[in-house]
Amino acid sequence: MAEVIRMPLLSDTMTEGVIAEWHKKVGDTVKADDVIAEVETDKATMEVMGYVEGTLLYIGVEKGKAAKVNEIIAIVGKPGEDYKSLLGGGNNNGQAAPEAKPAAQEAPAPAAAPAASSADSAAAAEALKNATVIRMPLLSDTMTEGKIVAWNKKVGDTVKSDDVLAEVETDKATMEVIGYADGELLYVGVKEGDAAKVNGIIAIVGKKGTNVDAILAAEGTGGAKPAAQAAPTATPAASAAPAATPEASESKDGRVKASPLAKKIAEEKGIDINKVTGSGDGGRIVKKDIDSYVPSAAPAAAKPGAAPAAKAPAFAPAGQEGYTDVQLSQMRKVIAKRLSESKFSAPHFYLKVDINMDKAIEARKAINEVSPVKISFNDMVIKAAALALRQHPDVNSSWMGDFIRQNHHIHIGSAVAIEDGLIVPVIRFADQKSLSQIAGDAKELYDKAKNKKLQPQDFSGNTFTISNLGMMGIDEFTAIINPPDSAILAVGGIKETVVSEKGQFKVVNIMKLTLSCDHRSVDGAVGARFLATLKSYLENPVTMLV
């Protein structure tokens, strides 16, 4: 059966997206990992994948036009398949319907379909007139699935279009999912703690009594079988919800009404949740209440300090064996997948250089006496790398499979280690910013990363990446290239080293840099020239200020 592709929720404040570009046209073959369109949101322009295979039968929104979140923007199916019944769900803007006729003309002649299949399609189309399917949105450019951290509604609850239905953990952040539909929550397809693929059904909202089984059956390729498998999935979610209900209703007994995510974040931040005012249903405390909470008194330091001790592994008694299986977070899964692909598909080579940081140390001390923001050595490396990239654009490139893209802007990713793994906030137009601006941007992004507040535009679009472990006492290391970059710079610590100069021994402060390059797009001589320019900037910082 044909699959509907809807406008995904690409940021927590997005309500609609503008189609900046279509990469496929009606009649084209579409693979699951194909980028079908580029969408401009309120914060960034991002790629949209359909995550389905087949032929593009229908395009519902013209280039340059906007579509509401969850609105149908395309349909993919078998050549010649009748998809018009899928357009009756009421989620289109009225501009899509006139394009349906040309779409059908471009597709090959339809083949005969079994009567049972037509009946299923008709039943699903009828059910969709009274219901809206809520799918797992694409919340970051690298996301392929999302884990349901918490459901804020249970089956049978009334839902408004602006209600937060669930909190979803992606590979980079935890974000709220809004259904953008009014009605009753008829179906929950993924229980808390489980993951769903992007574009997979996670819930259905609509009129009471709607034939949910028909929608679920039509979703799969095996007739009613998927419905039989999917229906029990709702049961744990529905039965789990009452467990949370006493918490909400027993507030008279002193229990706090709060979502699991809100409790988790409050615990991590050391916030007394009893002092937070909730803005959710019935005064329930949700994530945004914790994020915006400002304590009236100095926060207690004991809670944050106690957290690591509680997470320390419990070793088995002497002479006994034991182990703990730790479930992979969404972030860890994506780190494993993307860096494995990078390491084993991109031919890495490594260039190393020693930097005399004596003048940089002096310059940093003088700069910090007048700078409104404290400048770190990492900020100086970012600035120097950005300026060096302007002179060596081949390093500021991306390997695109059958061509090399030379970027005309410089967005530098600065890798940050957080509890769940590694994330790379992006400092945009780093070459155009002063050291104090870079320091201010970096501090804000690092704070967001540690508090899981990064939005897609904060961690996407990098053209070059820097990974700094020097602050953790590492002298030197090699880093794996962060796709789609062609290079990554590994920064070691600054260490006093005895060197010989003109027959005399002296102590200088040396910092070791290692540049990992993708040999498909960057040659050895190109990388060496880039490092030489970077070295000149860091060893004579005044040149960065001219």
Give burial (CB, 10 Å; 0-12/13-18/19+) of 9.
Answer: buried
Residue listed under structure tokens 């064996």: 321
C-beta of residue 10 within 8 angstroms of C-beta of residue 34: no
Pairing of strands 487-501, 464-468: parallel
Buried b (16+ CB within 10 A) or exposed e, 131-148: bbbbbbbbbbbbbbbbbb
State the angle between helix axes of 225-249 and 212-219 in degrees (0 to 180), rounded to the nearest 10.
130
Beta bridge partners of 134: 203
Q: What is the torsional sign of CA 174, 179, 185, 191?
A: negative
User: Looking at 42, 162, 291, 523, which residue is catalytic?
Assistant: 523
Query: Which stretch of DSSP H or E encloses residue 168?
Result: strand 164-169
Neighbouring C-alpha atoms within 13 Å toward the C-beta of 460: 18
Give the Cα separation of 486 and 144 in Å (integer).
23
C-beta of residue 461 within 8 angstroms of C-beta of residue 412: no
Token pair of 247, please? 């918490």
C-beta of residue 206 within 8 angstroms of C-beta of residue 183: yes
What pLDDT is attached to residue 421? 72
Q: Please give the domain boundaries of the chain with CATH numbers for all domains.
A: 3-85 (2.40.50.100), 118-216 (2.40.50.100), 346-544 (3.30.559.10)
Give the Cα separation of 162 and 13 in Å (integer).
11
C-beta of residue 76 within 8 angstroms of C-beta of residue 2: yes
3-state secondary structure of 285: strand
Neighbouring C-alpha atoms within 13 Å toward the C-beta of 128: 24
DSSP 470: G
DSSP 463: S
519 in active site: yes
Q: What is the DSSP string of 402-457?
A: SSEEE-SS--EEE-EEETTEEE--EETTGGGS-HHHHHHHHHHHHHHHHTT---GG
C-beta of residue 415 within 8 angstroms of C-beta of residue 468: yes
Give burial (CB, 10 Å; 0-12/13-18/19+) of 159.
Answer: buried
C-beta of residue 204 within 8 angstroms of C-beta of residue 212: yes
C-beta of residue 428 within 8 angstroms of C-beta of residue 411: yes
Give burial (CB, 10 Å; 0-12/13-18/19+) of 527.
Answer: buried
Give the Cα separation of 145 and 152 in Å (integer).
19
Tally Cβ neighbours within 10 Å of residue 455. 21
Which positions ≥6 away from 145 have C-beta within 8 Å?
136, 195, 196, 197, 198, 200, 330, 333
Pairing of strands 145-151, 195-197: antiparallel
Question: End-to-end CA distance of the chain, in Å?
Answer: 62
User: Looking at 82, 182, 281, 519, which residue is catalytic?
Assistant: 519
Angle, CA 289 vertex, CA 288 and CA 295 arms, to 5°? 130
What pLDDT is attached to residue 387? 97
Residue listed under structure tokens 């699951």: 32
392 in active site: no
Per-residue confidence in pLDDT tens, the chain, 546 aa: 688 888 887 665 677 889 999 999 999 998 876 889 988 876 667 778 777 788 999 999 999 999 988 788 999 988 988 888 888 644 443 333 333 333 333 334 444 444 445 666 778 788 888 888 888 887 766 677 888 989 999 999 999 887 888 988 877 677 778 877 889 999 999 999 898 888 889 999 999 989 988 888 887 633 333 333 333 333 333 333 333 333 333 344 455 677 767 777 777 677 888 888 887 766 778 777 887 787 654 444 343 334 344 455 567 888 888 888 887 776 677 778 878 888 888 999 999 999 999 999 999 999 999 999 999 999 999 999 999 999 999 999 998 888 999 999 999 999 888 776 778 899 999 999 999 999 999 999 998 888 877 777 788 889 999 999 998 999 999 999 988 899 999 999 999 999 988 889 999 999 999 999 999 999 999 999 999 999 999 999 999 988
Predicted model pTM:
0.55
